[in-house]
Amino acid sequence: MIAKLRTKGQLYQLFGQVASALANPHRLELIDLLVQAPRTVEDLAREAHMSVANTSQHLQRLKQARLVVDEREGQFIRYHLADPAVRRLWLELREVADHRLPEVDLALNAYRPRRYVFQIISINELQEKMNRDEVFLLDVRPAIEFQAGHLPKAVSIPLGELEQRLNELPADKLIVAYCRGPFCEIADQALELLSERGWEVARLEEGVAEWNMAGNMILEGSHG
């Protein structure tokens, strides 16, 4: 009996290793970025506004827990999620926190002050409008994320390029923008710019990960 209890304890200790690796806001942000696309340490450090040394330390902790893996590409090391289950774990963790902690909604309102300014379109509504060719679907994430996976028929115009590429947008369709999901403000910034320039706009709250988890196909490469 004592041996079984010891073995059971070892199991929970191993489960705890995964929980411990995730119990850091910087490491969660790195997981969130890797959900969108594989990245080098330097890319992750730049996106997360951390030093390369600090980013590398956090990635090593995630690697020890078998949550991420790395591959050497010349002088660079590129990281990606070790398994699709890690993506599911992150989305579920986020959903539990959103449902159980009212502070999440307050923090999100502060982070996304334009959260309720623009029309929200659901996945089903988007699909119906896409079938009727009524919308122009705009992916405003960095190009590396679009190439790693994007919604069908989406066009990539990263936020930093949007103002210079307005001539690529149709004037007679609803512009629907999406980014990394409901906890991302990139799409809000894009919609604010487009709304000021006269376009009818809406936001898809879900990102690529949520779209795919709902059973929908995603595409890879540089074309929608």
Answer whether 62's CB lies under 8 Å from 68's CB.
Answer: yes
Angle at which helices 2-22 and 25-36 cross, to 10°? 70
Which element (helix H / strand E) includes 20?
helix 2-22
Residues taking part in catalysis: 179
Q: Give the whole-angstrom CA distance, residue 217 versus residue 219.
A: 7
Q: Which tokens hold the place of 115?
A: 């959260």
Nearest to 223 by CA among 153, 173, 121: 153
Q: In 112-185, where does DSSP find H-type helix?
A: 123-131, 143-148, 159-162
Q: Which tokens hold the place of 88?
A: 């599911």
Q: Which sign, positive or negative, has the C-alpha torsion 64, 67, 71, 76?
A: negative
Q: Which tokens hold the place of 74?
A: 């010349």
- For 68, phi and psi rounded to 5 degrees? -130, 160
Q: Which residues of 201-212 are buried (b: 16+ CB within 10 A; e: fewer)?
A: bbbbbbbbbbbb
